[in-house]
């Protein structure tokens, strides 16, 4: 049976909403450093994604940029993952994330999803089996939740992927 790993990442710290539309909010300097730290943590944990599903909002794209640079610096010979910018990760909720996971090709073993709260936290809570110990509170900015399970992505269902670890990246 194939083990699949899902890494949920809430985007790094973004500027306070102002005159720009929410979709265009940029990362702060701290957010840039935290995105880099998230990539370094993923590299240290050997959690290199084969596929990245990312919200197209500016702050999530910038988060992926920081993560990808850190991953490439950690292992310049590793192939870059396929990246899909999914509007449903900006507009949708947990149902849309589960639908995206069900469509992941079986050859992909590790998926990184970069999105927004409350959706990232909601998905992490939804995926955990009923008998999971401990509680996951809302992911902070640059917060990562790692889930693992055996089987096919097409069988992604609520309560089917235990939470392995949670980490908040700080640069």
Write the pLDDT tens digit of every residue in 70-114. Answer: 999 999 999 999 999 999 999 999 999 999 999 999 999 999 999
Q: How are beta strands 143-150 and 163-168 bridged, if at all?
A: antiparallel
Residue 46, by phi and psi: left (phi above 0), alpha (psi -120 to 50) or beta? left
* Residue range 34-61: mean pLDDT, rounded: 98
CA 116 from centre of chain: 9
**Has residue 134 got a pLDDT over 60?**
no
Question: Taking a C-beta distance cutoff of 8 angstroms, is the pair 2, 151 a contact?
Answer: yes
Mean pLDDT, the chain, rounded, equals: 94
pLDDT on residue 136: 61
Instruction: Report the first-to-last Cα separation within the chain, whole angstroms.
Output: 37
pLDDT on residue 18: 83
Q: Which CATH class is domain 3-168?
A: alpha beta
Distance CA 29, CA 44 (A): 23
Distance CA 101, CA 35 (A): 23
* CA-based max dimension of the chain: 50
pLDDT on residue 17: 84
Q: What is the pTM of this model?
A: 0.95
Place of tokens 């449903």: 88
Distance CA 166, CA 147 (A): 9
**Has residue 145 got a pLDDT over 60?**
yes
């Amino acid at each position: 049976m194939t083990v699949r790993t899902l890494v949920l990442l809430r985007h790094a710290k973004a500027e306070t909403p102002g005159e720009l539309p929410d979709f265009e909010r940029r990362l702060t300097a701290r957010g840039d450093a935290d995105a880099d730290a998230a990539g370094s943590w993923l590299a240290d944990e050997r959690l290199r994604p084969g596929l990245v599903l990312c919200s197209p909002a500016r702050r999530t794209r910038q988060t992926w940029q920081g993560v990808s640079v850190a991953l490439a610096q950690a292992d310049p010979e590793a192939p870059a993952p396929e990246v899909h910018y999914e509007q449903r990760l900006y507009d949708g909720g947990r149902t849309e994330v589960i639908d995206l996971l069900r469509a992941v090709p079986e050859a992909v073993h590790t998926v990184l999803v970069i999105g927004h709260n409350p959706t990232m936290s909601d998905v992490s809570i939804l995926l955990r089996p009923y008998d999971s110990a401990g509680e996951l509170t809302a992911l902070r900015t640059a917060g990562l939740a790692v889930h693992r399970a055996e089987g096919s992505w097409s069988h992604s269902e609520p309560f089917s992927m235990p939470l392995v670890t949670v980490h908040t990246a700080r640069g």
